[in-house]
């Protein structure tokens, strides 16, 4: 994928000076020669991370260039960089610094590429003499490196040679790390501060929440964490960190091969993040700097709140297949889902936009030990909206369904009746919400319990079920479809 960036940029010739012999910090140079900037020149870095495997890097460095035109190598950038997104700004001596060309060099040093550069040239092979057990130097010409090196030693051709290869140096067009190369024109000979900003793939964040229920499942404590996964190919030291929550539209660039494939917080705890609206999204700014290393997963506390009112709901969802034809079989042991609902309101110690993520629920057992009770993913949840989490299926509350009648009234009109049995084996009374997805234009003819329309195509019942007992729901409905 990274190689696909190279055709976007014009490759210009590099200096014959080897990369390994270049200075490690930006320095004044004669016009036309290279200057190199590394992390040693960095004066600050800001990182904005998006949900969709994307990061915005703002890298500030202090450089010294002489007056005139020359090349600048900007090293220690992310290997996941999107070259077309790069922008460079002079923060001092405004108007005296111009970028004439920009190149992204990614022909990185590795054994294969190193040998490829020496095809047709003489190299040295160290091999051990089996009789003297001493290493000897053998001069050889590297003829090919396709599927393994092939050498000419004297008048003989050999491959699979056991000797170690010794090369005289690093070719000038191989580099050890991803590098931005700029052709710059400076009107002044001065030390200046610049900021290079670019987008990079390979870094993302998500929200992880922990709910801890009280004994009666009526209140909960909430802890929210930000989990940052950095595989961008760069580290960000003491970065000013911001996180953007929202669903951004992005242009997906695919290779021709890919195209073909497609076709076939506890009360009183100080918040660490400051939240604010940003365009049609929300942005969370960390109130301190943080170092995010390459190939590191980091967690930072987002929020904490205690004693939040919570509503537990037992839910039995019906199935549309029951309403379109006679259904002779009785369904036993239907599962009853367990859900939690939290109102994201300021009066509940919340009232802030909650980024999408995973909610994990815990509760203390009789020994006082926390036990895992289930998890669910949530979408972005604005303030004053309801957070709904499914924990699993109830163990001690079961249900069964029986169709007691089906008849055709007219060519497009039908009438059916059901008996739903709810069995409660718990030590306390429960209420089960039953939602029946009735199709077409329908009318409830009779029902053993009060009901209401959830929407145009559902009838909702709330059925009390005493402990160690069962309750039966009967209803008859007429449908036209």
Q: Convert the pLDDT of each residue in 168-219 to its tens digit.
A: 776 666 666 778 888 888 887 778 888 999 999 999 999 999 999 999 999 9
220, 232: one domain: yes
Domain tally, the chain: 4
Residue 111's H or E segment, with its range, is helix 111-116
Answer whether 391's CB lies under 8 Å from 339's CB: yes
* Concatenated DSSP letters of 442-469: EEEEEESS-EEEEETTEEEEEEEE-TTE
| Same domain (yes/no): 36, 155 | no
- Residues of the chain where predicted confidence (pLDDT) is lower than 70: 1-34, 93-95, 105-110, 170-176, 247-248, 250-271, 278, 280, 328-329
What the block records as the tokens of 152 is: 């000419």
User: Please, what's the b/e burial string for 66-77 (b: 16 or more CB within 10 A of its CB; e: otherwise)?
Assistant: beeebbbbbbbb
The C-alpha atoms of residue 36 and residue 70 are separated, in whole angstroms, by: 11
Position 173 scores a pLDDT of 61
The C-alpha atoms of residue 471 and residue 309 are separated, in whole angstroms, by 28
CATH number at residue 444: 2.60.40.1170
Q: Is residue 280 part of a domain?
A: yes
- Is residue 332, in this structure, part of any structural domain at all? no
| C-beta atoms surrounding 386 within 10 Å | 11
* One domain for residues 161 and 133: yes
**233 phi, psi to nearest 5 deg:** 90, 20
Identify the sign of the CA torsion 268, 270, 271, 274. positive
Which residues make beta-bridge pairs with 97? 186
Domain match, 75 and 115 both = no
Cα 315–chain centre separation: 32
Q: Within this chain, do residues 36 and 89 fall inside the same structural domain, yes or no? A: yes
pTM over 0.85: no
Q: Domain check: are 69 and 197 in the same one? A: yes
358 assigned to some structural domain = yes
Q: For residues 336 and 395, what is the distance between their CA atoms, to the nearest angstrom?
A: 8
Q: Which of 453, 449, 457 is nearest to 475 (CA)?
A: 449
Q: Which residue from 71, 72, 73, 75 is spatially nearest to 59, judged by alpha carbons?
A: 75
139 shares a domain with 24: no
pLDDT of residue 175: 62
Does residue 318 form part of some domain?
Answer: no
Together in a domain, 118 and 219: no
* 290 touches 299 (CB < 8 A): no
Record the tokens describing residue 18, joined without a space: 């080897």
Say which residues have a Cβ less than 8 Å from residue 208's Cβ, sequence separation at least 6. 224, 225, 226, 227, 299, 357, 358, 360
Domain extent at residue 362: 203-309+339-388
Q: Are residues 417 and 275 in the same domain?
A: no
User: Percent of the chain scored above 70 by pLDDT?
Assistant: 83
Is there a contact between 37 and 73 (Cβ–Cβ < 8 Å)? yes
Q: Give buried/exposed letters for 26-42 (b at 16+ CB in 10 A, else e).
A: beebeeeebbbbbeebb
What confidence score (pLDDT) does residue 13 get?
29
Looking at 150, 182, 201, which one is the last position of a domain?
201
CA angle, 273 then 274 then 275, to 5°: 110
The answer as to whether 82 is a domain residue is yes
Boundary-marking domain end, from 359, 388, 417: 388
Asked if residues 316 and 337 have their Cβ atoms less than 8 Å apart, the reply is yes
Q: Does residue 333 lie in a domain region?
A: no
Count of CB atoms within 10 A of residue 2's CB?
16
Residues 138, 97, single domain; the answer is: no
Contact of 440 with 479, CB cutoff 8 Å? yes
Give domain status of residue 319, yes or no.
Answer: no
Looking at the fold, whether 29 and 48 belong to one and the same domain comes out as yes
Q: How far is CA 439 from the centre of its chain?
A: 39
pLDDT given for residue 92 in this prediction: 78
Burial of 262 (0-12, 13-18, 19+ CB in 10 A): exposed
Residue 314 lies in a domain: no
Q: In the Cβ-directed half-sphere of 435, how many Cα atoms lie within 13 Å?
A: 13
The verdict on 243 and 262 lying in the same domain is yes
């Amino acid at each position: 994928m990274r190689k696909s960036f190279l055709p976007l940029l014009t490759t210009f010739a590099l200096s014959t000076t080897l990369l390994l012999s270049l200075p490690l910090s930006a320095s004044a140079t004669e016009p036309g020669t290279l200057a190199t900037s590394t992390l040693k020149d960095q004066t600050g870095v800001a990182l904005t991370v998006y949900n969709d495997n994307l990061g915005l890097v703002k890298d500030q460095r202090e450089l010294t260039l002489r007056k005139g035109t020359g090349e600048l190598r900007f090293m220690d950038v992310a290997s996941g960089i999107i070259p077309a997104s790069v922008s460079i700004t002079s923060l001092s001596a405004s108007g005296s610094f111009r970028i004439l060309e920009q190149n992204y060099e990614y022909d990185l040093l590795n054994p294969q590429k190193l040998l490829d550069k020496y095809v047709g040239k003489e190299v040295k092979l160290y091999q051990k003499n089996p009789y003297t057990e001493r290493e000897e130097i053998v001069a050889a010409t590297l003829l090919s490196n396709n599927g393994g090196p092939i050498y000419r030693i004297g008048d003989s051709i050999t491959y699979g040679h056991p000797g170690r290869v010794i090369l005289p140096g690093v070719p000038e067009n191989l580099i050890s790390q991803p590098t931005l190369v700029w052709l710059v024109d400076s009107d002044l000979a001065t030390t200046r501060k610049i900021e290079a900003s670019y987008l990079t793939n390979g870094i993302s964040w998500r929200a992880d929440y922990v709910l801890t229920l009280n004994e009666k499942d009526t209140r909960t404590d909430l802890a929210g964490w930000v989990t940052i996964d950095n595989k961008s190919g760069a580290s960000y030291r003491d970065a000013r960190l911001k996180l953007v929550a929202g669903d951004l539209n992005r242009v997906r660039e695919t290779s021709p091969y890919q195209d073909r494939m497609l076709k076939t917080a506890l009360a009183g705890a100080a918040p660490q993040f400051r939240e604010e609206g940003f365009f049609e999204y929300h942005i969370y700014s960390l109130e301190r700097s943080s170092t995010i290393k390459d190939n590191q997963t980091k967690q930072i506390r987002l929020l904490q709140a205690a004693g939040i009112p919570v509503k537990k709901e037992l839910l039995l969802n019906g199935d549309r297949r029951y309403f379109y034809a006679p259904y002779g079989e009785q369904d036993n042991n239907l599962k009853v889902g367990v859900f939690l609902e939290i109102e994201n309101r300021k009066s509940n110690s919340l009232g802030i936009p909650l980024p999408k993520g995973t909610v994990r629920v815990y509760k203390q057992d009789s020994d006082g030990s926390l036990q895992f009770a289930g998890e669910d993913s949530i979408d972005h949840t604005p303030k004053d909206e309801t957070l709904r989490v499914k924990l699993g299926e109830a163990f001690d509350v079961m249900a069964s369904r029986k169709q007691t009648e089906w008849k055709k009234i007219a060519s497009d009109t039908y009438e059916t009746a059901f008996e739903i049995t709810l069995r409660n084996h718990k030590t306390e009374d429960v209420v089960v919400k039953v939602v029946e997805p009735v199709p077409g234009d329908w009318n409830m003819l009779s029902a053993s319990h009060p009901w209401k329309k959830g929407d145009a195509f559902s009838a909702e019942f709330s059925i009390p079920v005493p402990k160690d007992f069962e309750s039966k729901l009967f209803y008859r409905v007429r449908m036209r479809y």
